[in-house]
Chains A and B, each alone.
Chain A
Amino acid sequence: MTENILIVGVGGQGTLLASRVLGALYAAMGENVKISEVHGMSQRGGSVVTYVRHGDEVASPVICEGEADVVLAFEQLEALRFVTSLKKGGRIIVNTQKIMPMPVVTGAAGYPEGIVDKLIAAGAQVTAVDALAIAEAAGSAKAVNIALLGVMANITGADKALFEQAIEATVPPKFLELNKRAFELGYEFE
């Protein structure tokens, strides 16, 4: 079996670090892992997507339409953009934070309303969470990524201790305490 996790967000939100933690986690569990990301233009506040695939055999590094078991969305609009990547009945964990894209900023387009309901209507199991608030409670808005991993760890029934070890192995020591708090608060989210 291969599990497909899609991480989506906006350039600068720390999606890459989240994927590295997952890579360390599944590698420690002795599984095959492939992670794919695109650098370059996407870093400049653009839409970013990272693919994490793990299991016995993983060939392709990418996840296509309808193939994701879990979508971890760092921003509402990005959740909507990538919901079609999710399997029917798959789980989407969405940070309720909104970041306006340039067409919305300039007034050329509107930011869609009621995104969570639209995700449900699309056939997803939705967990909506204010990860920004959790991260701020942990000490810094920058910890949104690890807070979301905490939420995901609880929902997917992952081994909490292994998850924490993966965070320790990935996060720079100076931010470790902050991130451990963010993970814990995310994990406790109901």
Chain B
Amino acid sequence: MNKIMIGNEAVARGLYEAGVRVVSSYPGTPSTEITEFAAKFPEVYAEWAPNEKVALETAIGASIGGARSFTGMKHVGLNVAADPLFTVSYTGVNAGLVIAVADDPGMHSSQNEQDSRNYAIGAKVPMLEPSDSGECLAFVKEAYELSEKYDTPVILRLCTRVAHSQSAVPLSERADLPLKSYEKNAAKFVMVPANAKGRHPVVEQRTAALAELANTAWFNRVEYHDKKLGVITAGDCYQYAREALGDSASYLKLGMVNPLPEKLIRDFAASVDRLVVIEELDPVIERFVRSLGIEVEGKSLFPVCGEFSQVTVREALGVAAVKGCETAEKAPVRPPVMCPGCPHRGLFYVLKKLGVYVSGDIGCYTLGAGAPLTAIDTTVCMGASVSALHGYNKARGAESAKKSVAVIGDSTFMHSGITGLVNIAYNMGNSNVILLDNSITGMTGHQQNPTTGQTLKGDIVAAVDVPALVKAIGIKRVVTVDPYDVETTERVIREELAADEPSFIISKRPCALLKYVKFPNICDVDREKCKSCKACMRIGCPAISIIDGKAQINRELCVGCGVCAQLCKFGAISTSAREG
């Protein structure tokens, strides 16, 4: 049976069919749906871990415990999980262990476009890269076979266009695998120096064996057509090359991008007139081919930055471009915005009004950097808001802490904000941290986290008691505000900024998109009272616009949060019960 599914669903189906028992991940676009789909199978235990390091370590433990296990993350998540990755390469596995990492060339929803293949090389771990949904499923199953046969974790590399594109996938039954027995083996699993010295040569031998396998394995294939041009490629780039060049080129389509197959590449190179590597991001394959002394073109034709398409390939190789409809008209941009009723809006309005330095983080609230709020000064990575604010204030002295805050979401705080807060308390910092607690992991599409009181599988559990946690860390001033109440929020933030010790402010309101959040009210403008001052426009609410010089509220969009009404000095905006 065939089913059309996105690459991420096909990966999840592959986990199911491969007999995987344990899945632990942290959400991150474009990887999130793998774990969400995996959780739908009753046979698979699946969970959201607080971060990718914990998730990978959980999967490692499950593998040692005898269950085929899995963790999935976005590319930057692998930075967080890099510590266990480099050592689980040495220990190897008991039952199969697969790590999916989803790169984001073009940065559709990421802060950088790092190339995860560098991690596979660095950690000396084999990496498979599918090019469509069918291969996603097939490669997952192959990854578990390789993992167990070669005693190694295996990385499955996806990119946005593979993770989020749908194509037909043939389905099969689940493999019924018993739990493997666990036998104590300190030389393999206890990585103290004496044992690790024994394991490193094993890793080198394993890589050599996998490189040999790569020369003949089914997942690396040659397609001979016209031999004037030979293309070495993998993943989505293979599809772009096929689209642009069709049978006018021959292809060496790599399913395994680490280690690379020397003999296969030499033979292919010798059989074509001109050799070109087509790969997004870093010249990983190109460098390897050149290291073999083979003449090859790659980044001299193709960009390092951004996502490719068939047009990239056509332009680089001089294939005629397609001409379409033409217009000189420029459409104004439509950037993503905070939703109507978003609890972050009132909070950022206050921060902008106070003119404080805002150390930002990763989540929906990063949208607070956009116009008209433009409240955020920095965004680096998960958790950096808290720790970087501490550094900023240590650099700039005592007064700086009275004019600066960090903002971090509930899930991001659990992910890697807690240790930064410990640093503030421990090292006598005076920084003020604002927790944007919207009771969900918002940006990635509503995942539960340790503060929400619910698991991925829907179990009701005890939520982390954040005020108690923060107090236990040593922060004495902990206060909760409702960001819909603009005046109180402003007063509280002013008080906490003025205090001579660190503060933790919890801005608490559930995400407006959560199904259980009901909005009984709606806002309206009295055109007579409106003085066209545009104070209500400062919050960037998509429901408010100026029509014929006066503010107007779109009743389809307005959820009646009432933040705009609090900004109007003329009482022109009223909040009333929604009829019906």
Interface centre among B236, B240, B326, B371 (most CB of A within 10 A): B326
User: Contact at B334–A35, with CB atoms within 8 Å?
Assistant: no
Report chain B residues within 8 Å CB of A60.
Answer: 239-240, 242-244, 309-310
B4 adjacent to chain A (CB < 8 Å): yes
Kindly specify which of B60-68, B158-166, B384-392, B425-433 makes contact with the partner chain: B158-166
Interface centre among B168, B338, B544 (most CB of A within 10 A): B168
Report chain A residues within 8 Å CB of B323.
Answer: 66, 88
A38 to B30, alpha carbons, bound, how many Å?
Answer: 8
> 14 extra interchain contacts, Cβ-Cβ under 8 A, other than A62-B240, A84-B325?
A23-B4, A32-B167, A34-B166, A45-B334, A45-B339, A59-B243, A60-B243, A62-B309, A66-B325, A77-B332, A84-B327, A102-B334, A106-B371, A123-B325
User: Contact at A47–B372, with CB atoms within 8 Å?
Assistant: no
A36 to B236, alpha carbons, bound, how many Å?
Answer: 12
User: Contact at B4–A35, with CB atoms within 8 Å?
Assistant: yes
- Contact digits for B214-231, partner A, Cβ 8 Å, 1 yes 0 no: 000000000000000000
Interface centre among A38, A47, A118 (most CB of B within 10 A): A38
A41 to chain B, nearest CB (A): 5
B181 adjacent to chain A (CB < 8 Å): no
Chain A stretch 133-165: residues in CB contact (< 8 A) with chain B: 141
Report chain A residues within 8 Å CB of B109.
Answer: 38-42
User: Contact at A37–B164, with CB atoms within 8 Å?
Assistant: yes
A122 to B309, alpha carbons, bound, how many Å?
Answer: 24
A108 to B372, alpha carbons, bound, how many Å?
Answer: 10
B502 to chain A, nearest CB (A): 32
A24 to chain B, nearest CB (A): 7
Report chain B residues within 8 Å CB of A40.
Answer: 29-30, 108-109, 443-444
A176 adjacent to chain B (CB < 8 Å): no
The binding surface of chain B is classed by DSSP as loop
User: Contact at B337–A27, with CB atoms within 8 Å?
Assistant: no
User: Contact at B332–A109, with CB atoms within 8 Å?
Assistant: yes
A75 to B309, alpha carbons, bound, how many Å?
Answer: 25
Report chain B residues within 8 Å CB of A90.
Answer: 324-325
A18 to B165, alpha carbons, bound, how many Å?
Answer: 15
User: Contact at B165–A105, with CB atoms within 8 Å?
Assistant: no
Chain B stretch 291-339: residues in CB contact (< 8 A) with chain A: 309-311, 321-327, 329, 331-339
Q: List 6 A-B contacts (CB under 8 A).
A: A44-B367, A61-B161, A61-B239, A101-B333, A105-B540, A112-B332
Report chain B residues within 8 Å CB of A88.
Answer: 323-325
Interface centre among A39, A47, A104 (most CB of B within 10 A): A39
Chain A stretch 41-81: residues in CB contact (< 8 A) with chain B: 41-47, 58-62, 64-68, 77-78, 80-81
User: Contact at B332–A124, with CB atoms within 8 Å?
Assistant: no
B87 adjacent to chain A (CB < 8 Å): no
A-B Cβ contacts below 8 A, count: 190
Given contacts A33-B167, A86-B325, A123-B326, contact A44 B334 (CB under 8 A): no
B470 to chain A, nearest CB (A): 29
User: Contact at B327–A118, with CB atoms within 8 Å?
Assistant: yes
Contact of B310 among A64, A106, A119 (CB under 8 A): A64
User: Contact at B239–A77, with CB atoms within 8 Å?
Assistant: no
Contact of B160 among A38, A77, A81, A107 (CB under 8 A): A38
User: Contact at A86–B542, with CB atoms within 8 Å?
Assistant: no
User: Contact at A141–B325, with CB atoms within 8 Å?
Assistant: no
User: Contact at B329–A102, with CB atoms within 8 Å?
Assistant: no
Report chain B residues within 8 Å CB of A173.
Answer: none
A19 to B189, alpha carbons, bound, how many Å?
Answer: 48
A24 to B336, alpha carbons, bound, how many Å?
Answer: 29
The binding surface of chain A is classed by DSSP as mixed
User: Contact at B327–A47, with CB atoms within 8 Å?
Assistant: no
User: Contact at B322–A67, with CB atoms within 8 Å?
Assistant: yes
- Contact digits for B159-180, partner A, Cβ 8 Å, 1 yes 0 no: 0110011111000000000000
Report chain A residues within 8 Å CB of B333.
Answer: 47, 101, 103, 109
A143 to chain B, nearest CB (A): 14
Report chain B residues within 8 Å CB of A66.
Answer: 321-325
Contact of B335 among A78, A102, A122 (CB under 8 A): A102
A14 adjacent to chain B (CB < 8 Å): no
Report chain B residues within 8 Å CB of A84.
Answer: 324-327
B556 adjacent to chain A (CB < 8 Å): yes
A78 to B552, alpha carbons, bound, how many Å?
Answer: 23
Contact of A36 among B161, B327, B545 (CB under 8 A): B161
Report chain A residues within 8 Å CB of B338.
Answer: 44
Given contacts A40-B108, A65-B311, contact A45 B4 (CB under 8 A): no
Chain A's closest residue to B8 (CB) is A39
User: Contact at B164–A112, with CB atoms within 8 Å?
Assistant: no
User: Contact at B166–A35, with CB atoms within 8 Å?
Assistant: yes
A100 adjacent to chain B (CB < 8 Å): yes
A62 to B109, alpha carbons, bound, how many Å?
Answer: 18
Report chain A residues within 8 Å CB of B160.
Answer: 38
B198 adjacent to chain A (CB < 8 Å): no
B445 adjacent to chain A (CB < 8 Å): yes
User: Contact at B334–A38, with CB atoms within 8 Å?
Assistant: no
A36 to B133, alpha carbons, bound, how many Å?
Answer: 11
A132 to chain B, nearest CB (A): 10
Chain A's closest residue to B342 (CB) is A44
